[in-house]
Structure 1
Amino acid sequence: MLNQVGRNGWRRHRQVLAVGAATSLVLLAGCSNSSSSTPKASASSAKLTGDCAQYQAYAGHAGTKVTMFASILSPESDSLQTSWKQFSTCTGITISYVGSNDFESQLPVRVQGGTAPDLAIIPQPGLLQQMVKTGKVVKPPAQTVANEDKWSAAWKTYGTVDGTFYAAPMSANLKSLVWYSPKAFKAAGYAVPTTWADLMKLSDTIAKAGKNKPWCGGLGSGTATGWPATDWLEEVVLGSYGGDTYDQWISHQVKFSDPKIIAAMNTVQGWMHNPAWVNGGFGGVSTIASTTFQDAGTPILSGKCSMLQQASFYEAQWPKGTTVGPDGDIWAFKLPAVDPSVSDPVEGGGEFVAAFSDRPEVQAVQNYLSTAAWATSRIKVATGWVSANQGVDPAVYTDPIDQLSAKYLTDPTATFRFDASDLMPAAIGSGKEWSEFTAWFSSNQSVAKTAANIDAAWPQ
Structure 2
Amino acid sequence: MRTLKRPFPILMALGLMLAACTSASPSGSAGGSPGASADISGKEVSVIGTWTDAEETAFRAMVKPWEDQTGATVKYQGTRAINDILAAGIPTGVLPDLAGLPGPAQMQEYVQAGALKPLDNVLDVATYSSETSAALVDLGKVQEKTYGVFIKASVKGLIWYNPTLHDYSASPPGSFDDLMSQAKANQGSAKALWCLGIESGAASGWPATDWIEEILLHQAGPDVYNDWWAGKVKWTDPAIKKAFTTFMDDVVANTFGGGTNAVAANFQVAGDPLFTSPPGCELFHQASFITGLGKFPNEKAGTDYNAFPFPTFDTKYATAVEGAGDLFGMFHDTAAAKSLMAYLVTAPAQDIWVKIGGALSANKNATEVFDASDQMPTDMNAAFWSHMVTLTSGKETIDAALSALQKVADDAYAA
| TM-score between both structures, scaled by the size of structure 2 | 0.85
Q: Is the 8 A contact 1:61 1:93 kept in 2?
A: yes
The answer to whether residue 69 in structure 2 is matched with residue 90 in structure 1 is yes
Spell out, residue by residue over 1:176-213, the C-alpha distance to the aligned partner (whole angstroms, 9 max, x if none).
Answer: 10111011115x99964232221121244357x68631
Q: Per the alignment, in what secondary structure is the counterpart of residue 213 of structure 1?
A: coil
Equivalent residues of 1:66, 1:362 under 8 A apart: yes
Q: How far apart in 2 are the matches of 1:320 and 1:181?
A: 11
Alignment partner of 2:300: what SS?
A: coil
Alignment of 1:120 onto 2:99:
yes
**Structure 1, residues 15-64: CA drift from partner, whole Å, max 9, x if none?**
xxxxxxxxxxxxxxxxxxxxxxxxxxxxxxxxxxx999834554522232
Note the C-alpha offset of 1:75.
2.5
Separation in structure 2 between the aligned mates of residue 215 and residue 52 of structure 1, nearest angstrom:
41
1:23 corresponds to: none
Residue-by-residue CA offset, 1:143-168 (whole Å, 9 max, x unaligned):
34332222122111221234432111
Instruction: Output aligned runs, 1:31-70, within 5 Å.
Output: 54-70=33-49
The equivalent residue for 2:116 is 137
Aligned in 2, Cα 1:57/1:256: closer, same or farther, shift over 3 Å?
same
Q: Which moved more, 1:101-110 or 1:168-177?
A: 101-110
Equivalent position to 2:290, from 298, 314, 325: 314
SS at 1:341 equivalent: helix
Q: Aligned-pair distance for 1:227?
A: 0.8
For 2:32 and 2:360, the matched residues in 1 are separated by: 26
Q: Provide the secondary structure at the position in 1 that maps to 2:391.
A: helix
**Structure with bigger gyration radius:** 1
Structure 1 residues 191 and 375: CA distance shift in structure 2, 3 A? closer
| One-letter identity of the residue aligned with 2:376 | M
Partner of residue 337, structure 2: 362
2:82 aligned to which of 103, 128, 131: 103
Does the C-alpha gap of structure 1 residues 316 and 378 become closer, same or farther in structure 2, counting only changes over 3 Å?
closer
Q: Secondary structure at the match of 2:56?
A: helix
- Deviations along 1:298-326, one digit per CA (max 9) or x if unpaired, are 22212121111111111122427743323
Q: Is 1:371 aligned to residue 322 of structure 2?
A: no
Alignment of 1:175 with 2:126, yes or no, is no
Aligned to 2:8: none
What is the Cα deviation at residue 285 of structure 1? 2.9
1:424 correspondence with 2:376: yes
Per-residue Cα deviation, 1:114-143 (whole angstroms, up to 9, x for no partner): 211111122422221222222111101423
- State the Cα distance separating 1:389 from its structure 2 match: 1.6
Higher relative contact order structure (alpha carbons within 8 Å, sequence separation ≥ 6): 2
Pair 1:265–1:366, CA change in 2 (3 A) = same
**Equivalent residue in structure 2 for 1:457, among 380, 384, 408:** 408
Q: CA 1:369 to 1:214, structure 2 compared with 1: closer, same or farther past 3 Å?
A: same
Deviations 1:273-296 (A, max 9, x none): 32xx22x2xx23332222222232
Name the SS for the 1:308 alignment partner. strand
Output one character per residue of 1:367-406: Cα deviation in whole Å (capped at 9) or x when no partner.
11122232223334x111111123xxxxxxxxxxxxxxxx
Matching of residue 234 in structure 1 with residue 185 in structure 2: no
TM-score of the superposed pair, with normalisation by structure 1? 0.77
> Do the aligned partners of residues 64 and 344 (structure 1) sit closer, same or farther apart at CA in structure 2, a change above 3 Å counting?
same
Structure 2 counterpart of 1:197: 177
State the 1:113 CA deviation.
Answer: 1.9
Instruction: Name the CA distance, whole Å, in 1 between partners of 2:162 and 2:241.
Output: 32
Q: State the AA in 2 paired with 1:177.
A: L
- Partner amino acid, structure 1, of 2:350: A
Query: Are 2:129 and 1:154 aligned?
Result: no
Asked if 1:437 corresponds to 2:388, the answer is yes
Indicate the residue corresponding to 2:198 in structure 1. Answer: 219
Which amino acid in the other structure matches residue 185 of structure 2? Answer: T
Q: Which amino acid aligns with 1:200?
A: M
Identity fraction in percent: 29
Unmatched tracts of structure 1, length 5 or more:
1-49, 391-408
Distance verdict in 2 for CA 1:375–1:273, change over 3 Å: closer
Distance in 2, matches of 1:269 and 1:75, equals 31
Q: Give me the whole-angstrom Cα distance separating, in 2, the residues matched to 1:105 and 1:137.
A: 16
Pick one of 231, 235, 245 that aligns with 1:252.
Answer: 231
Kindly tell me: are residues 427 and 238 of structure 1, through their superposed partners in 2, closer, same or farther at Cα, counting changes over 3 Å?
Answer: same
Distance of 2:204 and 2:35 partners within structure 1: 44
Determine if contact 1:144/1:168 at 8 Å carries over to the other structure: no
The match for 1:75 is: 54
Conserved? CA contact 2:117–2:329, under 8 Å: yes
Shift of 1:239: 0.9
Q: Is the 8 A contact 1:70 1:120 kept in 2?
A: yes
Show the counterpart of 2:281.
305
Q: Distance in 2 between matches of 1:312 and 1:204?
A: 24
Q: Aligned in 2, Cα 1:58/1:375: closer, same or farther, shift over 3 Å?
A: farther
Stretch deviating more after TM superposition (433-442 or 92-101):
92-101
**Counterpart Cα distance in 2 of 1:52 and 1:331:** 31
Residues 362-401 of structure 1 correspond to what in structure 2 (within 5 A)?
362-380=337-355, 382-390=356-364
Measured after TM superposition, the shift of residue 425 of structure 1 is 0.8
Structure 2 residue runs without a partner (length 5+): 1-28
User: For residue 330 of structure 1, what is the aligned residue in structure 2?
Assistant: 305
Q: Which letter does structure 1 place at the counterpart of 2:94?
A: T
Q: Is the 8 A contact 1:138 1:357 kept in 2?
A: yes
Worse-superposed segment, 216-225 or 441-450? 441-450
- SS of the residue corresponding to residue 361 of structure 2 reads coil
Q: Which residue of 1 aligns with 2:398?
A: 447
Q: Distance in 2 between matches of 1:135 and 1:265?
A: 37
Structure 1 stretch displaced more, 357-366 or 156-165: 156-165
- Secondary structure in structure 1 of the residue aligned to 2:202: coil
Letter in 2 for 1:315: T
